[in-house]
A and B are shown apart, each in its own frame.
Chain A
């Protein structure tokens, strides 16, 4: 899962940075008599860190921008065999039709709202968020997802929409065959 990778990498980097701050804080009370060479080497280090940051920035962005969830042309227009489902939010319920699919099926959810902003959050049977898009009045966002596991998926609202926000969910059934 992407979330696990993001958690692991974030915690490692956050912890490393915290350790640097803690280390500098711990040694700060012992003065350095000759600060000049130390600061010069620090600035050299910064140049290397900048270069490293640029490499990471370019690499991660290049890879991430190759996996965008946005669909330029819905399958319907291209004549592809993708199931269409219409999803609409309204304070505080979802209507998803159809709401039964099979494993391996690719579905395009046409997501909109009848009143305020909602968030169409698709959760797998283990309650892991696997895809989402905003549900907005006056707009239809197309979310494409391929079901990989049988079971009961849930759609939760992921944009605060008023006092019944936490109650706004519906189920999607995915059969093995």
Chain B
């Protein structure tokens, strides 16, 4: 009996059922969060009335919910595939979902009962300065919810790291460091799913611990306002955590590309020295690039901000020249038969790669001076999250649903999601280039055209996601053995 089988046999929980539970949660929450996003765009377009107090609660819930669900979806993809190569605990995987649901309940209560509207980034000292519109308890419930979710993810990553170490001997070996620097044959390197899961474990464990530190400090400040700490240090910690966590969601979800596309193309995903080097460098850059969020904090040391810009540019190279290039060469005249799953996964790579371009532009200091915190920012991150990461997750969901599920509507779902999503992100980017600020509940008349185009795009994207998610939920009626 191998180690992998041993771990599997110890758990009474069916692994595929657990993945299905993750994806069902992801699908339902994703739809709800997309509807919250659509609500904001419709309000900005002045097609519906939403009071600013409620708008900012919705904005906070949308942000936290989407980041959380991206993490959960990425974790589902990663865990489903990485357990083919390393022993992992189904119980811990399920525990993460339970922690997530408890945390989500706390966060939803904080927002819709407690009125907490401090944005998902809870930028210190805002949670303690509500202007009388939310209580300390409301803010505390939000931050406690994030902490609980963080504990779940910490457990999951540590368990996967344990599994990787047990098979490969260390996290460096799991990442393919020796292969990256030519000290070991490429053929002996880890499969892509293991390299990606190693990167996710290293990055998220550090990022989550940093996030926990600033959350606990903020919680103390809520109830003991005389306890204060440096606002710039707090901002560094928050963006370190936030940037790392949201980026890792993509690096987890991309495992779907490595594992699913070759099933369709019948071409193995090529792992070579460049591939491993890209993952090593991506790990380092995800952990060091966060200062590009602080380019307008002139009090920061200039050398760190300059490094933030340069690393921001460098971090685009592995994505564009390795993963995107790898997907293109894998698919190129492969004879694959397109279906919704393959289309979504391929779209996910495209969305990720294309989204890098406006993101890198915004990471350039003179550009950031006139585009930071305009709608250019949600424009670029929705490109690589909505059309990138989420497309990969929806592709995985569609793939798991299998060909037996009703599929005649699935292509329509993909096209609606693509066309709607593209319209939606372009409206944001155009508004950003016209200096429209982000996170405004009320917009000037001159900005309405962008909001209305964005609302139409968002409506189409929601319709597409609805089709794909309902198709997946319907597929849950089929026996687990039918799952790929």
Q: How far is the CB of A32 from chain B (nearest CB, A)?
A: 4
- A150 CB to nearest chain B CB (Å): 19
Within 8 A of A (CB), among B351-374: 353-354, 357-358, 361, 364-367, 369-374
User: Residues of A contacting B235 with CB < 8 Å?
Assistant: 117, 136
Contact with A along B320-331 (1 / 0, CB 8 A): 110011001101
Residue pair A162, B321 in contact (C-beta under 8 Å): no
Number of interface residues of B (CB under 8 A): 79
Segment touching A, from B168-176, B213-221, B434-442, B459-467: B434-442
B317, A53: Cβ atoms under 8 Å? Answer: yes
A14-B357 contact given A6-B371, A132-B369, CB 8 Å threshold:
yes
Q: Verify if A96 is at the interface (C-beta below 8 Å from B).
A: no
The answer, yes or no, to whether A27 is at the interface (CB within 8 Å) is yes
- When the two chains form their complex, are residues A3 and B441 in contact, meaning their CB atoms are under 8 A apart? no
**Chain B residue contacts of A49, Cβ below 8 A:** 321, 325
Is A116 touching B119 in the complex (CB atoms < 8 A)?
no
| B-contact bits for A83-126, CB 8 A (1 contact / 0 none) | 00000000110000000000000000000000111010101000
| Bound CA span A35–B225, Å | 66
Asked whether A176 is an interface residue with its Cβ less than 8 Å from the other chain, the reply is no
Q: Chain B residues near A159: list those with CB within 8 A.
A: 123, 373
Whether B332 and A163, one on each chain, are in contact in the complex, defined by CB atoms closer than 8 angstroms, is no
Q: Do B435 and A24 have beta carbons less than 8 Å apart?
A: no
Stretch at the interface among B15-23, B94-102, B128-136: B128-136
- The distance from the CB of A18 to the nearest CB of chain B, in whole angstroms, is 6
* List of A residues within 8 angstroms of B296 by Cβ: 119, 132-134
Cβ distance B61 to chain A, nearest Cβ, rounded Å: 14
Instruction: Mark interface residues in B394-405 (1 if CB within 8 Å of A CB, else 0).
Output: 000000000000
A3-B371, A61-B313 known; A21 and B350 CB under 8 Å?
A: yes
Flag if A50 contacts B372 (CB, 8 Å): no
Nearest B residue to A45 via CB reads B325
Q: How far is the CA of A31 from the CA of B275 in the complex (A)?
A: 25
Task: With A17-B357, A53-B321 as known contacts, state yes or no: A10 contacts B346, CB within 8 Å.
Answer: no
Which of chain B's residues has its CB closest to A131's CB?
B369
Q: Quick check: B131 and A91 within 8 Å, CB to CB?
A: yes
Contact residue range for chain A? 35 or more
Residues of chain A lying within 8 A (CB to CB) of residue B298 = 69-71, 133-134, 141-143
Within 8 A of A (CB), among B297-335: 297-299, 302, 305-306, 309-310, 313-314, 317, 320-321, 324-325, 328-329, 331-335
Contact of B331 among A28, A138, A141 (CB under 8 A): A28
Say whether B411 faces chain A, with CB atoms less than 8 Å apart. Answer: no
**Closest Cβ of chain B: how far from A119's Cβ, in Å?**
6
Please measure, in the bound complex, the distance between the C-alpha atom of A137 and the C-alpha atom of B297, giving whole angstroms: 12
Residue of A with least CB distance to B432:
A3
Do residues A162 and B129 form an inter-chain contact, with CB atoms below 8 A? yes
Q: Map CB proximity to B onto A1-41 as digits: 1 under 8 Å, 0 otherwise.
A: 11110110111011001101100110111111001001100
A67–B305 Cα distance when bound, in Å, is 13
Check B231 for interface membership: any CB of A closer than 8 A.
Answer: yes
Take A64-B366, A131-B369, A136-B297 as given contacts and tell me if A25 and B346 are in contact as well, using a CB distance cutoff of 8 Å: yes
Q: B: which residues have CB within 8 A of A? A: 52-53, 56, 117-119, 121, 123, 125-126, 129-131, 133, 230-232, 235, 265, 267, 296-299, 302, 305-306, 309-310, 313-314, 317, 320-321, 324-325, 328-329, 331-338, 343, 346, 349-350, 353-354, 357-358, 361, 364-367, 369-374, 383, 429-430, 432-435, 437, 439-442, 444, 446
| In the A-B complex, the 8 residue pairs with the closest CB atoms | A31-B335, A32-B333, A7-B433, A141-B298, A129-B435, A21-B350, A158-B373, A166-B440
* Known A157-B437, A160-B56; further 17 A-B contacts with Cβ < 8 A: A2-B369, A3-B434, A6-B361, A6-B371, A10-B361, A14-B357, A17-B350, A31-B335, A35-B267, A64-B364, A127-B444, A129-B435, A132-B369, A139-B231, A165-B439, A166-B52, A166-B440
